[in-house]
Structure 1
Amino acid sequence: MKLNLNGVFLFVTLVIFTSCLNEHDPNHSNDSSFYIDYRSLKGLSDGIAVIELDPEAPNFGNISSRLELGVGVLPHHIYYNQNANKMFTTALGGSYLYEIQTGKDQNGLPKLIDATPIDTGENTVGENLFFTNDGRYFMTFMGGAGGPKDGSIGVFNANNNQLIKTIKAPIQANPNQFIMYPHGISINEEKGLMMVTSTIHPDLTTGLGNTCTLLDLNTYEIKETYRVADTPTDMSAPVEVLLLRGKFPQYALSTTMIGGDIWIAPYNPATKKYDAFTKLFDGSSQGLGWALEMYIDDSNKLYVSFADPGKVLVFDLSNLPQLKLLKTFDADKGAHHMAFFKTKSGKEVVAVQNNLLDLPNLNSGTISVIDINTGKTLGTVDLRNRYGILPESIEGTNGPSNYMHH
């Protein structure tokens, strides 16, 4: 048998070259690099940073780029537009909404370049965004124009960031159909419906909400305001809402911040609205409080963060309205936003940002990286002690780091 040494040499060379390419592939690095909004604990500027979150990387926890937005800006949620070619952050202070310009550094890694403030009109305290396929995006303003029972939704042109309309519906005008302290937002474009939550006054003391409000996506008229609480006086503070769509069963889900629960409402094709909300999961009975974010993967699993005591619960969505608990992950106090990715060796992980508005006992200031299959914490970044900052939110540098968020 005669060996073709030239062929063997070529094959070995190709394997080594491919291995070297993979080892230094900047795209892999990007997959584990994330943008975080942060607040300074030292009285310095708040801003956005790029951080490495793969525990297997030698630079795990390192910040490679920062963009300062200003003292007291408090950037809050990072979003991509529909095509993931523009990135935005909302903010509780400052200009309330910014478009963020990014690029690459000399090593091909993500780099933050600049922030462009967007005029939000009279609307204050920016919370959540939702981009639709028709060139609009919607933004909740928990502070509205600044009144004690205020709140609004801004409608923007996605091409030029111009404010098209401000949707207002004061509770003083109609106590049965209103928008107040809106935080969470979700849209089902196929059904032409939008829903927002009523959470809490921005000063965290003036007032609380306990409702979700359904609106027509095109006329902006209110269709119904739903109580998401055990009683009219139970101020549960619904924080996020998710209108399930596409391949998922057609329900609305909401988390309650003070209640610590998950609520559900079925879509009714006859009325073209949702029926009443009922409690689906009682967090307090499980020793859980401050239910916050909801994320869904592409295999019918729902991830919900509970800031107190700092857990992520994983549920099976396959048999709604029954919700089966599959796993419980330990994070840190203030467990909040999540990002999903694979480590260099292929482990499926979720990064959990542990901080809620720097509230006492809900402000660990860490990011936990948890193996989704084993539930083991593979690494923790302590931003409070390492950098003197608290993470406010988290998002991927290659586009959205989740399948469905809201």
Structure 2
Amino acid sequence: MTTLNFRAHCFAVIAATLVASFLPFELRAQDREESQAMVLLRGLPTLGTSHSIAIIELDPESDRFGDILSETEQPDLVHPLHHLYYSPSGRLYATGLDPICSLAEVGLERDATGAPTVTGFTCLETGGQMVGEDIMWHTSNGAEYMFVTFMAGRGGDDGGTVGVFDPQTNEVVKIIEARRSQVGEGKPFIMYPHGISAFQDRMVVSSTVHPDLATGVGNSVAIIDLNTLEPIENIVVENEKPLNFPSSPVEVLFARPDLNENIEPAVLVNTMFGFETWKIPYDASAKSFGTPEVVYSGAQNGTAVPLEFYGNEDELFISHALPGVVKRYHLSKLPELVSSGPDIEADPGAHHIIFFTSKSGRKLIAVQNNLLNLGNAEDGDPTDVDFIAAINSHTITVHDLATGERLASVDFKEKYNKGVENVEGLFGSGFVHHH
């Protein structure tokens, strides 16, 4: 459940029971961990703040809504930790943008009152792999591993790797690397990998963009054979070029029957600069992929920069950074995108999502609204990239899940002089499936 060892956990439970009897009823009544979230916060250069990991309250029915309940600063990191992931055993990990901490394990424990608290983080050895993005746990030849995409890989203009880690020791088992400049013409390659997903013995990773946002942009996904841990195929997903850039596939989801028995296996791909969602059919018996096709065009529907795939028991949600909207689809209809309800209108930069319930039992969805939290040159911020600065609202908006009604919002730049890099549920994933 947490990273506590058993003895410390027992002590915390006993201590919490004793101390709780002395706490005011009003505070105890609001101590609902389900509505608390883990967030990664990005310090903003012009505001003199540092990056941090925090726990915040997101229940609009709480008078502590938007409050930071626990926080650990990251003053030595130039670039922040980036994405949060819980392992199947409940350990909490974060990928990172800083070369000195591209993968970390986060300490999450309980204090003497039993309240969750962030105790720090430990940067892990990656074998020289840099700029960690997504994490996935899956099996290869009967053994479970932690797979991590590193957009910069071990450096270079066409860098990018997938790290294979022992999920118990965090040690590097293998680095999957295939530079386009070295493998030869027409051979499968891995470049700027970001999104990752798998089904049976096939794994797919996207080729997004060089971490410097200038050197290069990808337009394909790589298929990796989990028996050999080597790339075997590249599939191009590019059609319209509304920005005159390659499509930049970002997140991928291997839609599969274990998510819903009615799903026909296929890979769904969001193209960040193509504004599209693609479907790549998969024949599980032949282990072959069909012809990719566009199932949603942002250019034709007034949306741009599709980012994440999230889901609950019944629906799939896709966030679109512009205009800042989350669209929803019937899970059972995948890989076709059949609308299941009203759009959730968030803020520009709509990105990561969690699901939870309010104190009164209302089902809620929270949306983190930013891409990378880079600043605006007009404010003297040296991190400015015009296109990205336009889709950083620095907010988390909370909505009624059924209707999409916005119930509350917290602006982290206004309240804490920071941007919000990522949001995740406390003590476990706030969604059923992702990537």
Q: Judge same fold: TM > 0.5, yes or no.
A: yes
Letter in 1 for 2:363: E
Which residue of the partner structure matches residue 312 of structure 1? 326
Aligned ranges 1:143-292 → 2 under 5 Å:
143-172=152-181, 173-176=183-186, 177-188=188-199, 191-230=200-239, 235-245=246-256, 246-248=258-260, 249=263, 250-292=265-307
Go from structure 1 to structure 2 and tell me whether the alpha carbon gap of 1:345 and 1:45 turns closer, same or farther (over 3 Å shift).
same
Equivalent pairs counted in the alignment come to 383
Letter in 2 for 1:174: G
Letter in 1 for 2:97: L
Q: Distance in 2 between matches of 1:253 and 1:108?
A: 41
Find the residue that maps to 1:209 and give its secondary structure. Answer: coil
Could you tell me how far 1:152 is from its partner in structure 2?
A: 0.6
Find the residue that maps to 1:132 and give its secondary structure. Answer: strand
Identity in percent: 38
Is structure 2 residue 125 aligned with structure 1 residue 119? yes
Q: Distance in 1 between matches of 2:65 and 2:240?
A: 47
Q: Distance in 2 between matches of 1:43 and 1:119?
A: 29
Could you tell me how far 1:397 is from its partner in structure 2?
A: 1.0
Which residue of the partner structure matches residue 28 of structure 2? 24
Q: Distance in 2 between matches of 1:54 and 1:343?
A: 6
Could you tell me how far 1:24 is from its partner in structure 2?
A: 3.1
Which residue of the partner structure matches residue 44 of structure 1? 49
Match of 2:432 among 399, 403, 406: 403
Letter in 2 for 1:403: V
Find the residue that maps to 1:96 and give its secondary structure. Answer: strand
Is structure 2 residue 417 aligned with structure 1 residue 373? no
| Cα deviations by residue, 1:66-95 (Å, 9 ceiling, x for unpaired) | 1122341311100011122x1011100031
Find the residue that maps to 1:24 and give its secondary structure. Answer: helix
Find the residue that maps to 1:77 and give its secondary structure. Answer: strand
Could you tell me how far 1:106 is from its partner in structure 2?
A: 4.1
Could you tell me how far 1:321 is from its partner in structure 2?
A: 4.2
Could you tell me how far 1:244 is from its partner in structure 2?
A: 1.8
Structural RMSD (CA): 2.0
Could you tell me how far 1:285 is from its partner in structure 2?
A: 1.1
Could you tell me how far 1:223 is from its partner in structure 2?
A: 2.3
Q: Distance in 2 between matches of 1:32 and 1:269?
A: 39
Which residue of the partner structure matches residue 144 of structure 2? 135
Q: Distance in 2 between matches of 1:238 and 1:181?
A: 10
Give the gaps of 5 or more residues in structure 2: 1-20, 374-387
Letter in 1 for 2:426: T
| Cα deviations by residue, 1:125-184 (Å, 9 ceiling, x for unpaired) | 111111125331010000011101111111001111001111111112234311000000
Q: TM-score, normalised by structure 1?
A: 0.90
| Cα deviations by residue, 1:42-75 (Å, 9 ceiling, x for unpaired) | 3432121110000001100000111122341311
Could you tell me how far 1:107 is from its partner in structure 2?
A: 3.9
Letter in 2 for 1:348: K
| Cα deviations by residue, 1:25-45 (Å, 9 ceiling, x for unpaired) | 67x611011100111013432
Q: Distance in 2 between matches of 1:319 and 1:136?
A: 30
CA contact 1:288–1:308 (8 Å) conserved in 2: yes
Find the residue that maps to 2:251 and give its secondary structure. Answer: strand
Letter in 2 for 1:78: L
Larger Rg: 1
Structure 1 stretch displaced more, 122-131 or 239-248: 239-248
Structure 1 stretch displaced more, 239-248 or 113-122: 239-248
Aligned ranges 1:327-338 → 2 under 5 Å:
327-338=342-353
Could you tell me how far 1:259 is from its partner in structure 2?
A: 1.2
Q: Distance in 1 between matches of 2:259 and 2:102?
A: 34
CA contact 2:151–2:191 (8 Å) conserved in 1: yes
CA contact 1:140–1:154 (8 Å) conserved in 2: yes
Which residue of the partner structure matches residue 391 of structure 1? 420
Find the residue that maps to 1:364 and give its secondary structure. Answer: strand
Which residue of the partner structure matches residue 18 of structure 2? none
Match of 2:357 among 334, 342, 346: 342
Could you tell me how far 1:21 is from its partner in structure 2?
A: 8.9
